[in-house]
Every structure is written in C-alpha cells, then in structure tokens.
C-alpha cells in the first residue's frame, strides 16, 4: 500500500485536543504516521497518494456502543455485511454488537463464531458483547473470565435487564474481580409490563399502556446502591428521563464512578413524534417528553452523560406493520447517528468537540480500546465529514437491510463523505 | 412485501370514523341530526330503507360484544346493506394471520364498510390505511368508542334538549375505558362541563389535560351534575390490585341513592352496559324509569349507527 497524505483538513480529535487545519499521513501498513498542522502541502513525496480534504472535517471513526446485528438467527434483519456497509456510510468504524441473537452470545464457542463472521463479512471493527446471564434469562451469570480471555470487552443482557437483585449484586461483585465492564439496560419489568410508550398525556390520548419513568429510575438507583458495596466497571446503557438523570447527577456528586449512555433517539425525538401510532417510533426506552429530551441534551453538555449511541435495532417491515401493541420495538440508526448528533451542534445545543467526544473517545475509553482517536501509530480509522451538507432521510437509500428508520423525511445537516478503515477508503459518497 | 407495496398506492379518498378526536363540529351535528330522523323510523312498523342497497358491510369483531355488534348489524340491515359478521374465533386470525393480511383478504371482496372492534388501540387507524372502503371504529383498546359517545349525546339531547352548559360526571374505571375517552372529547366539544370520578389507580396519567376535572370523592364529583355516566368495572381489575375489593369499590364509587342526592334532582343515570349490579350501581337505581336512561341508550344506539353508516359509506 502506498503512503497516503491527506491535507487541508479540519482535524478534530477530542482525545488529543486537536481542532486545527492540517493533514494526516497514513503509512504503508495503514497506520497513522503523522497528524496535525505540520502535515502540509509542501512536504509530500511524489510517489505518495495525495488527497485534498478541502477544509472538511476529518474526525476519528465513530465507536457505537449499542448495535444489534441479526447474526446468528435473524440474518433477514441484518447481517455483518449489511451492518458494515450501513455503519461505514455513517462514519462508524467500530461497533459493540448486542448479544440478543438466536442463540444468545453467552459462551466461548459463540464468540469464536462471531469473530470469524465479523472478520470475514465486515470491514468495520466488531466488538461483540456477551450476555450477563445465560440465555439472558437473568438467573445464571456467564463465564466472565473465560469470555474476557476470548476478547469480550463488555457484558450486557442487551434489551433485557437483570431483574433479580441478588443475581445483579452477585454479578457486580464477581465482575469486580475480573474487571469486566457491565452494561445495564435499566427497566423494571414489572413496572413496565405491557407498556408501550411513555406514561403521560400521549399514552392517555392514544389509549396505549404507559411505561412510567420510575421503571428506569428504580433500576438505576438499585444498581448504584450495589455499586457502593461491589465496585465494578458499571455503565448504564441508555437513559430516557430527567428523573433518572437527577439520580445520576447526585451519585456523581457523591463521587461514585460509573458511566452513562443515551440513545440518539431520546436526544432528537420525543413522544409527540409517535403521532398516529407510528410503530417505527416504538422504542425501548420509550421516547419521553420534550422536557426529558431537553434535560438529556443538557446532561451531555454538563458531562453527566458520557456516550451517545445509535441503539441500531434493524427490524423488518413485517414486524412493524402491525398494531402498536403487536409491533416490535426498536429503530434502525447506525447510518444516521452522526447527522443527528450534528443536529445538536447546528441548533447550538452542544459544542462540536463535546459531541464528537461522546461518539468517539468517550465510548473507547469506557470500553478500554484504543479506538476513537487519531494518535500516531493507531489504525487509520477515520471519516471525512461535510458538517454542513443538507440532505433528507430517504429510507429506500439506507444501506441497512432493514429500513425501520424513525426519522424518514427528516431534514438533516451534515453527511459523511469518506470513511477509512486501516488506511483504506472503505466508503465514499458518490 | 410486494403485496404490501401495492396497497400503499391505495388512494386515501375514503371517509372513516376512527374516533371523536378526528371529527369536526359540523360532522358531529350532521350525524346527530341524521340519527334523529331514524329514531322515529325505528319505532314504526316498517323499519327498512334502501339507502345502502347493494352495499356490503363487514363486521370485524376481535373482542366479544353483544350490544355493539348486534346494533351495527341491525343498523346496516335496516338501511338495506348486506351485512356479514365475521366470527373471529374460527377465523384465520387465530391461526396467526396479521391484521393487515386479514384486511387485504377482506378488501379483495370489495366491501363498502368495515366495522371493526379490536383489543389494540389504533387498530382501526392501521386498517384504514390498508383498505379502500370506509372503516368505522366500534371500539379500539382503551382509545375510542365513537359511536357509543354519539349515542350518549343523542340520548342526552333527547331528554334534556341540549348538551351545552350541562354538567356531566363520568364515574368508574376511566383508565381502561374507551367510552370515557370518547365521551370526554365529545361532551367537551358540545359545550358541556365534564368531571371524571375514579379511585387514583383508575385515573389515567394527565387526564386533566383532556379538559376535565378529576375527583376521587364521588359526592364532590357529582355535585350539581345533570348527567351521571357510570362505567363498567371489569372484574379482572380486582386481580391486578387496582382495587382492594368490590365491596370497598361499591362503598366509595358505587352509585347509590345517597350519593346521587349530590347531583341535580333531575339528573339522568347512564351506563354503556353491561352492568355489574351492586358493584358500580345500585340495582334499584339502574331500573328506576324516572332516572335511568340505560335502555334508551341501547335504543338510540341503532339510530346513531344507522346515521354513521349512511354518512361514512359515501366517498368524500
């Protein structure tokens, strides 16, 4: 591979505190050889490839901590190849895949299978998460140590929550010794039983059973109490309400150490968007009020929420073309994550640097992987973004196998032009 | 997939009755005025008209129903339509067919009207997007039951001459009640003042935002009311620990002569049926011909449904 010189770029790398016009050199192995303003037009060897970025943003590849793949078991919804294409077109170069497959990723042999499939079929970095409990049943914990040795970097029951407090406390206690990362989807199943959308005026009007914010808050409060006794690497996958954020603020002020994520859906949509029973907006956690949305945005701004995820959950048309009660939960989102994140920049809610950190360096830090930054010697995984380019979401143009985007026809600003994986162009917008 | 895409192309030229919320004031007056003309017809010796002759009406009831289903069936027949009531228990739906597939199958038979009752809120809306005939909502989940509210309005107008300025109390299981929601929208739109009375566990979240006053004390809620609308308490609610017992419920929320004294002297008692005597209503009050209009509601139900069938059968 020839060396590549990318010049005249606005380089944004939150981890290394870079936001400057400069260049990036990729060496013959696909690693970053040099970066910054010292890389300029003057010093390019004649045999190297030269790419003029024309002042567009060059940022680390996105690390998406919450993505569902259909393999194994639901290949008709999404496979590694389609996920990879979708992710690349959205500037995402690393994903943590959720274990809610069929069968569930809960043992060492499944991990081998996934890694092989991921390597053969996709170009992005796949970090499979294993389940916290066998078959995500919430009863018997999985083999954290053995799985970790196989390369599993995070444990979660994905769409499920460990309900039994005893099991959860033991998981946290056990995980503290193997230093495993525990990621919890916070939802009390009894409080949210049969619930479909946020409990409030909209649920009353639509006649749909509500999911109270308490269902989320109570699990976060419980787990944070455990954390005092059993300190482990604990991450709340995504929160949806202001009241939960208040609990998190208080715990952080008390000095507790843990991290929190939020789905881009909860930052850019609210319960009113459900309109006339739009099943594509049936999500978990549910979309809540505008007040909740605003406080979550503030949570990103204030640093109480560390990570923004796409919560990419591809679902085929047939599982959505049902009554609201029968339709499946979840929305596709990996390809629109960055554009929606940029919406928060364009409407002046949050600073660009902070937003980019929440999808690159912050998740990488939590996962303890050397991704999401542009340090010399790292894999050259990055993307070039025209942060101002206007476009309209058209689901027929999405690369994901499933087209269940919750933001069809939304006008967005900012689009990925090119995505590089290990120094090679893996995606280019035509 | 291909079939679904084809159906997306269906032009939305149909007139549907999906809920009170989607009706305008003039549409409501039109229905009520039309229904008035059918009241006399229904009492006459020859009850049959040919307004809907040659039209096909399918009743698609996913939930058991006696009065609503028979009322719609009778209404259709009196207007001269061919009425078919689907028996869901023996149908393909029990074999796992989705609502959309059922809709497409029925649509292929070219009906003019589908009357649907479904346990899921929003099911008629979904159906209406997929068929090219009129869809009439006969009750969906806890969302709406528009024809019940319309017949309640007609009953009140018949007795009180108007709705504007009246004070109406809706009492009982508001949380699970589509009748309550449709009535709240309709009575508000027609200018009444609406109170809802229920124990806190059976009051929906933010119910005040629908334009009502909420009471947990029945006597206060009934104060100076012209209309007392009782709702059925479904027995399964007892097991979900919404309430301690039927006895306690009757003590605090059952309609008794003592509590009724708080309402106006000429207040009318209404109930959408079926009643649980001794749970939500005193049995003598339910049968009091001076106060209770429960049987009249059923009678006018046919007239209101005839009006709805006639009006909504037409293409816009």
| Interface contact flag, B144 A323, Cβ < 8 Å | no
With a cut of 70, list the residues of chain A below it in pLDDT: none
CA-closest candidate to residue A403, choices A351, A355, A344, A336: A336
With contacts defined as CB-CB under 8 Å, which chain B residues touch A324? 120-122
Q: Residue A222 and residue A163: Cα distance in Å, rounded? A: 10
Is A414 in contact with A387 (CB distance < 8 Å)? Answer: yes
A322 touches B at CB < 8 Å: yes
ipTM above 0.85, yes or no: yes
Domain ranges of chain A: 61-367
With contacts defined as CB-CB under 8 Å, which chain A residues touch B144? 207
A61-367 to CATH, choices 3.40.109.10, 3.20.20.140, 3.40.50.620, 3.40.1170.20: 3.20.20.140
User: What is the rounded average pLDDT for all residues in chain B?
Assistant: 91
pLDDT at B261 over 50: yes
Q: What is the pLDDT of residue A48?
A: 85
Is A338 in contact with A416 (CB distance < 8 Å)? Answer: yes
pLDDT at B8 over 80: no
Q: Are strands A62-67 and A57-60 parallel, antiparallel or unpaired?
A: unpaired
Q: Residue A227 and residue A224: Cα distance in Å, rounded? A: 5
B122 touches A at CB < 8 Å: yes
pLDDT digits (tens, 9 = 90+) for A388-415: 999 999 999 999 999 999 999 999 999 9
Helix, strand or coil for residue A358? helix
Query: Residues of B numbered 1-20 whose beta carbons fall under 8 angstroms of chain A's beta carbons: which are they?
Result: 1, 4
| Interface contact flag, B123 A323, Cβ < 8 Å | yes
Q: Residue B143 and residue B129: Cα distance in Å, rounded? A: 18
Q: What is the pLDDT of residue A42?
A: 72
Terminal Cα-to-Cα distance of chain B (whole angstroms): 29
- A31, two tokens: 């690693």
Catalytic residue list contains A246: no
Q: What is the pLDDT of residue A219?
A: 98
With contacts defined as CB-CB under 8 Å, which chain A residues touch B127? none
Q: How many angstroms from the chain centroid is the CA of residue A58?
A: 20
> How far B52 CA lies from chain A's nearest CA (Å)?
30
Q: What are phi and psi of B252, to 5 degrees?
A: -100, -30
Which among A311, A370, A381, A394 is annotated as catalytic?
A311
Nearest CB to B210: which of A204, A325, A326? A204
pLDDT digits (tens, 9 = 90+) for B142-197: 999 999 999 999 999 999 999 999 999 999 999 999 999 999 999 999 999 999 99
pLDDT band, residue B236 (cuts 50/70/90): low
Place of tokens 């040795």: A149
> How far B197 CA lies from chain A's nearest CA (Å)?
16
Is A274 in contact with A281 (CB distance < 8 Å)? Answer: yes
pLDDT digits (tens, 9 = 90+) for A339-363: 999 999 999 999 999 999 999 999 9
Burial of residue A55 (number of CB atoms within 10 Å: 0-12, 13-18, 19+): exposed
pLDDT band, residue B103 (cuts 50/70/90): confident
- Reported residue count of chain B is 316
Q: Residue B231 and residue B220: Cα distance in Å, rounded? A: 18
- Identify the closest residue of chain B to A198 by CA–CA distance: B205
Nearest CB to A323: which of B21, B122, B209? B122
- Identify the closest residue of chain B to A201 by CA–CA distance: B206
What are the angstrom distances between the C-alpha of B313 and each of A44, A321, B151? 76, 26, 19
């Amino acid at each position: 591979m020839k060396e590549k010189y990318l010049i005249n770029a606005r380089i944004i790398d939150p981890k290394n505190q870079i936001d400057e016009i400069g260049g990036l050199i990729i060496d013959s192995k696909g690693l970053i050889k040099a970066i910054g303003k010292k890389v300029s037009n003057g010093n390019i060897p004649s045999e190297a490839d030269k790419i003029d970025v024309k002042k567009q943003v060059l940022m680390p590849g996105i690390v998406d901590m919450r993505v569902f793949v259909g393999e194994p078991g639901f290949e008709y919804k999404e496979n590694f190849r389609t996920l990879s294409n979708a992710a690349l077109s959205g500037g995402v170069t690393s994903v943590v895949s959720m274990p809610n497959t069929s069968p569930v990723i809960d043992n060492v042999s499944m991990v081998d299978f996934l890694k092989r499939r991921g390597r053969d079929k996709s170009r992005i970095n796949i970090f499979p998460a294993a389940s916290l409990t066998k078959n995500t049943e919430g009863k018997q914990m999985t083999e954290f140590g053995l799985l970790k040795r196989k390369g599993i970097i995070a444990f979660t029951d994905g769409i499920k929550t460990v309900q039994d407090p005893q099991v959860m406390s033991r998981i946290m206690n056990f995980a503290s010794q193997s230093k495993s990362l525990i990621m919890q989807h916070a939802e009390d199943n009894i409080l949210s039983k049969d619930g479909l959308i946020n409990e409030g005026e909209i649920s009353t009007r639509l006649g749909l059973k509500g999911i109270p914010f308490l269902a989320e808050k109570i699990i976060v409060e419980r787990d944070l109490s455990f954390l005092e006794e059993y300190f482990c690497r604990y991450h709340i996958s995504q929160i949806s309400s202001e009241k939960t954020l208040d609990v998190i603020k208080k715990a952080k002020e008390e000095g507790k150490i843990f991290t929190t994520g939020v789905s881009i859906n909860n930052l850019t949509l609210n319960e009113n968007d459900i309109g006339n029973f739009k099943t594509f907006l049936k999500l978990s956690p549910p979309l809540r009020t505008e007040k909740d949305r605003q406080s979550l945005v503030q949570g990103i701004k204030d640093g109480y929420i560390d990570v923004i995820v796409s919560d990419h959950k591809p679902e085929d048309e047939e599982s959505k073309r049902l009554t609201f009660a029968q339709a499946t939960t979840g929305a596709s989102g990996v390809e629109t994550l960055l554009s929606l994140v940029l919406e928060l920049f364009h409407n002046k809610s949050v600073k660009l640097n902070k937003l980019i950190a929440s999808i690159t360096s912050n998740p990488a830090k939590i996962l303890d992987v050397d991704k999401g930054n542009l340090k010399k010697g790292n894999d050259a995984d990055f993307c070039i973004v025209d942060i101002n380019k206007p476009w309209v979401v058209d689901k027929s143009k999405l690369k994901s196998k499933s087209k269940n985007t919750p933001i069809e026809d939304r006008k967005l600003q900012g689009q990925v032009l090119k995505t590089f994986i290990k120094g090679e162009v893996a995606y280019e917008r035509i | 997939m291909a079939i679904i895409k084809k159906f997306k192309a269906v032009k939305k030229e149909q007139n549907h009755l999906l809920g009170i919320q989607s009706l305008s004031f003039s549409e409501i007056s039109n229905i009520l005025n039309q229904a008035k003309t059918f009241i006399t017809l229904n009492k006459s010796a020859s009850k049959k008209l040919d307004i809907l002759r040659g039209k096909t009406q399918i009743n698609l009831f996913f939930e058991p129903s006696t009065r609503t289903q028979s009322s719609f069936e009778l209404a259709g027949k009196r207007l001269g339509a061919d009425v078919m009531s689907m028996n869901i228990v023996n149908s393909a739906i029990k074999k796992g067919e989705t609502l959309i597939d059922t809709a497409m199958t029925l649509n292929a038979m070219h009906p003019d009207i589908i009357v649907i009752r479904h346990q899921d809120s929003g099911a008629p809306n979904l159906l209406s997007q997929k068929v090219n005939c009129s869809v009439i909502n006969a009750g969906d989940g806890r969302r709406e039951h528009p024809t019940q509210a319309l017949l309640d309005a007609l009953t009140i107008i018949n007795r009180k001459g108007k709705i504007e300025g009246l004070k109406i109390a809706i009492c009982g299981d508001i949380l699970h009640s589509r009748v309550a929601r449709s009535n709240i929208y309709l009575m508000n739109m027609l200018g009444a003042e609406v109170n809802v009375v229920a124990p806190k566990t059976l009051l929906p979240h933010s119910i005040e935002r629908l334009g009502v006053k909420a009471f947990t004390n029945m006597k206060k809620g009934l104060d100076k009311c012209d209309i007392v609308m009782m709702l059925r308490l479904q027995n399964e609610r007892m097991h979900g620990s919404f309430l301690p017992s039927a006895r306690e419920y009757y003590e605090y929320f059952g309609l008794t002569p003592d509590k009724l004294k708080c309402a106006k002297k000429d207040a009318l008692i209404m109930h959408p049926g079926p009643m649980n005597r001794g749970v939500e209503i005193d049995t003598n009050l339910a049968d009091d011909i001076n106060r209770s209009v429960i049987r009249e509601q059923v009678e006018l139900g046919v007239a209101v449904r005839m009006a709805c069938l006639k009006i909504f059968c037409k293409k816009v």
